[in-house]
């Protein structure tokens, strides 16, 4: 009998789900206009993403938006970055993070 790791419910095979860990995505966007932040956050909500953190910083003549999101798959996060190409001026990227679920590492 082969050993199998227990899987998380509603887990996409591509997301490398492991018990006690949560997949989050760090998304970076270069924006010409800071008011495009509202459009991007609305679009994130529309695809079911839970925005966990958000920051906006000035960089030369652009604004850099950093979003940390949860509740979407790695494939959906990559597709989202491609889909907002019309809003983004320059680079956009996504980095996938596997983090301990909140509360499970407290007191360890």
Facing residues of 31 across strands?
Answer: 63
The model's pLDDT over 47-63, given as tens digits with 9 standing for 90+, comes to: 999 999 999 999 889 99
Percent of the chain exceeding pLDDT 70 equals: 78
* Higher local confidence (pLDDT), 41 or 5: 41
Query: How distant is the alpha carbon of residue 13 from its chain centre?
Result: 17
Mind giving me the DSSP string for the chain?
Answer: ----PPPPTT--GGG---TTEEEEEEEEEEESSTTHHHHHHHHHHHTT-EEEEEEEEEETTEEEEEEEEESS-HHHHHHHHHHTTTT-SS-EEEEEEEEEPTTTSTT-
Domains, the chain, with CATH or none: 22-100 (3.30.70.260)
Q: What is the per-residue pLDDT for 3?
A: 44
């Amino acid at each position: 009998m082969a050993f199998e790791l227990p899987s998380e419910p509603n887990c996409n095979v591509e997301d490398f789900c492991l018990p006690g860990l949560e997949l989050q995505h760090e998304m970076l966007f270069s924006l010409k206009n800071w008011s495009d932040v509202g459009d991007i956050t609305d679009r994130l909500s529309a695809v079911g993403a839970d925005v966990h953190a958000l920051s906006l910083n000035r960089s030369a003549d652009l604004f850099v938006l950093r979003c940390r999101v949860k509740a979407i798959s790695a494939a959906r996060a990559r597709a989202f970055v491609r889909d907002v190409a019309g809003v983004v001026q320059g680079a956009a990227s996504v980095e996938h993070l596997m983090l301990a679920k909140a509360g499970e590492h407290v007191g360890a």
